Amino acid sequence: MKRFLSLAVVVVLAAAACSSGSGTAAPAAKPYISIVSKGFQHQFWQAVKKGAEDEATKENATVNFMGPNTESDVQPQMDMLNAELAKKPAALCFAALDSKAAGPTLQKFKDANIPVIAFDSGVDSDIPLTTVATDNVAAAALAADKMGDKLGGKGKVGVIIHDQTSRTGIDRAKGFVDEMKAKYPNITIIGPQYGGGDLAKSADLAKSMLAANPDINGFFGGNEGSIGGVLNAVTELHLDQTKLTIIGYDSGQKQIDAINSGLEYGAVQQSPIGIGQKCVVYAMKAINGETKFDKVIDTGFLWADKTTINNADVQAVLYK
Amino acid sequence: MSSAPGLPVPAGRTGAMVRSDFLQRFLAFGALIVLILFFQVWCVLIGTNFLTFENFVNILVATAVVGIMALGETFVVITGGIDLSVGTVMTISMVMTAVAITSQHLPVPVGILVGILTGGLMGLANGVLIARFRIAPFIATLGILNVARGLSLVITQTRPIYFPNNPEFQSGVMGNLFGLKISGEFGFPNIAIIMFGAALVAAFMLGKTALGRYTFALGSNEEAARLSGVNVANWKMLVYVVCGLFAGLAGVLSAARLGSAQPATGFGYELSAISAVVIGGTSLSGGEGTILGTIIGAFIVYVLTYGLQFVNVAQEWQIVVTGGVLIAAVYIDNLRRRQRV
């Protein structure tokens, strides 16, 4: 019994020491915003977190960013939502692993009049006031503009996308193809073909496109894996890289190297920092009583080529 | 510090024995109480309150699935074995329940039965591999872990299966008994009642049936059990089937909670379940363990997970602390055992 009591006292003292030191105590005036993400370990999510925390400091709010260990942990994400709801946050920013599974829990936030801002892939529900995400259609259209300019408005461009089922795959293919057709009618598009974001599969697609159309002078790859496949194909076939304009999406060491060496002309970069920042901006607006927002808030994207890749704003969104 | 006034203070040897007995029975329970008080103090210091009914309900709900899995795991661990497959056996049970209800259009109770039996079947596979083919439990169940994980993805074509046409399944499991609200919107969740019910069944099986007796016998001295005429292979298989059945029940509840079968989930849950069992004082070398301990162990795991998040500890540190607590729990339990010998 004695030992128990002393153990209890030690633990309680430790608790006191920890919390007075950790400074988690938030004055009541500072609004508390919960951010439940799809993960926390990937560089992409860490960048979202940084954007949110910086903006929170600016707006005098407290944010708590969390996400499950893996993107298949649907149930732990529900437990996180429950714990955050119990803290009565001023607002919730949420990227659902599974929108439908999260439905009943989100309803509880709505019932408690806690505004919900969706981010990244969004939430398939009418509860969120808005969705903060990359406008993939516009970002892919920028890639088409860069391609069209570089080719002088004529030529043949192969398009390789990761898939035709995910939102990002659909939007990027549409953004690129539509912009090209509208603005550069003399450029012929081969594809889009879908390689599952897999390096080998995407490389095979690029090779078969080249075999059927030896006069191809441009490639667009819709994500890291797709463009990586194109780069592999071009390297393996020992093609003359000065005759090809290759444009990619996102970063990764391979693309960064290819852009620096001149093999790849450039790539469109999403801005995870911008996603985190805008989440907090719109959460604060909602806390201050605004309810009417655009359905989607674009968080912007950047163009990285040999001349811009070392700029601070581009470096900030690159990941390896 | 001295004992509370008014209580008779046993002297000398008797006192030591009482204390040792007390420690043995209530070590895990005491740790749970200390943990809850720890978070309450922390919360008071940051200006909030941990001891709310809402937090209580959230912790119950979070614990239920892994808690039930840990019940079955307790039987296996007492025999001196291990079942690494419970997490993904839960997943495939969830998937089979969903398949039964959606594409086969079977009534929900049949779907529930299909899920539980799927778990039992996977348990039987473990049991046959271990008892008949003499494959070490660690390897056999690691194999079944992957078989179940892969099959779940194959059956669902890697996509979740939803059952929007059976809202009663979700509301039944996640609702409250008689719709009773205890505090605000919150009542005692049915999923927790099911967990406690399952624990009572498990405790009965372990304490009052032949299965329970042989479970302990296998763990204490398998050779002695064999020599005294026990059909060791059969009882061992049965133990793994029981473990699978509990994992199956966990899968059914998980499906109900999520309103869907999530084929990629479940992997890693086995480690939480084994942690719960071990923190609850069941010995990994077999022959010793209690259901009450396991349930308390499961609560310790989830009070810790929930509490650390509630007081805004960074997630990286949550993982570190959870690991530390597991090691501390097992170390203290070892001390207790040595003391008794």
List the A116-119 sheet strands across, edge first.
A62-66, A32-36, A91-94, A116-119, A130-133, A296-298
Q: Establish if B2 belongs to a structural domain.
A: no
Identify which of A201, A161, A199 has the alpha carbon closest to the alpha carbon of residue A177: A161
User: Are A72 and B267 a contacting pair at CB < 8 A?
Assistant: yes
Q: Is B28 inside a domain boundary?
A: no
B310 found inside a domain: yes
Residues in chain B closer than 8 A to A78 (CB atoms) = 257-258
User: Does the CB of A98 have a partner CB in chain B at under 8 Å?
Assistant: yes
Q: Which CATH superfamily groups domain A30-133+272-289?
A: Response regulator (3.40.50.2300)
Q: Is residue B323 part of a domain?
A: yes
Which tokens in the block code for residue B186? 């919150």
How close does chain A come to B61, measured CA to CA in Å?
8
Tokens 């969120």 correspond to A128
**Residue B270 maps to which CATH number?**
1.10.3470
Structure tokens at A218: 């441009």
Secondary structure of A105-134 in HEC code, one letter for each residue: HHHHHHHCCCCEEEECCCCCCCCCCEEEEC
Average pLDDT over residues B191-206: 97
Q: Would you state the pLDDT for residue B22?
A: 58
> What are the residue boundaries of the structural domains of chain A, listed by start?
30-133+272-289, 136-270+307-313
What residues have CB less than 8 Å from A275, skipping those under 6 apart?
A48, A51, A119, A120, A132, A133, A134, A299
Find the domain containing B326 and state its range.
58-179+187-340
Q: Is residue B271 part of a domain?
A: yes
Residue B48 lies in a domain: no
Cα B142 to Cα B274: distance, rounded to the nearest angstrom: 14
Cα B94 to Cα A143: distance, rounded to the nearest angstrom: 43
Of the CA atoms within 13 Å of residue B320, those in its CB half-sphere come to 5
Is residue B29 in some structural domain?
no
Please check whether residue A189 is in contact with residue A159, taking contact to mean a CB–CB distance below 8 angstroms. yes
State the DSSP H helix or E strand holding residue A298, giving kind and residue range, or none if neither.
strand A296-298
C-beta separation of A270 from A139 below 8 A? yes
The answer to whether the CB of B1 falls within 8 A of the CB of B272 is no
Cα separation, A32 vs A38, whole angstroms: 20
Residues of B in contact with A67 (CB under 8 A): 315
How many domains in chain B? 1
Whether A136-270+307-313 and A30-133+272-289 are alike in CATH topology: the answer is yes
pLDDT digits over A135-174, tens only? Answer: 889 999 999 999 999 999 999 999 999 887 667 788 899 9
Amino acid identity of residue B252, one-letter, is: V
A86 touches chain B (CB under 8 A): yes
Rounded mean pLDDT of chain B?
Answer: 89
Q: Write down the pLDDT at residue A12.
A: 46
Contacts of B160 in chain A (CB under 8 A): 98, 100-101
| pLDDT tens-place string over residues A49-91 | 999 999 999 999 999 999 988 777 889 999 999 999 999 999 9
pLDDT for A254 equals 87
According to CATH, the topology of domain A136-270+307-313 is: Rossmann fold (3.40.50)
Among the partner residues B23, B254, B313, nearest to A75 by beta-carbon distance:
B254
- B36 part of a folded domain: no
In angstroms, the CA B326 to CA B323 distance is: 5
Structure tokens at B16: 């030591």
Torsion sign over Cα A227, A228, A231, A236 = negative
pLDDT (tens digit, 9 = 90+) per residue, B260-315? 999 889 999 999 999 999 999 898 889 999 999 999 999 999 999 999 999 989 88
3-class SS at B113?
Answer: helix
Model pLDDT for residues B61-91, shown as the tens digit of each residue? 999 999 999 999 999 999 999 999 999 999 9
Low-confidence ranges of chain A (pLDDT < 70): 1-28, 122, 165-166
Look up the pTM and report it: 0.79
- Is residue A71 within 8 A of residue A38, CB to CB? The reply is yes
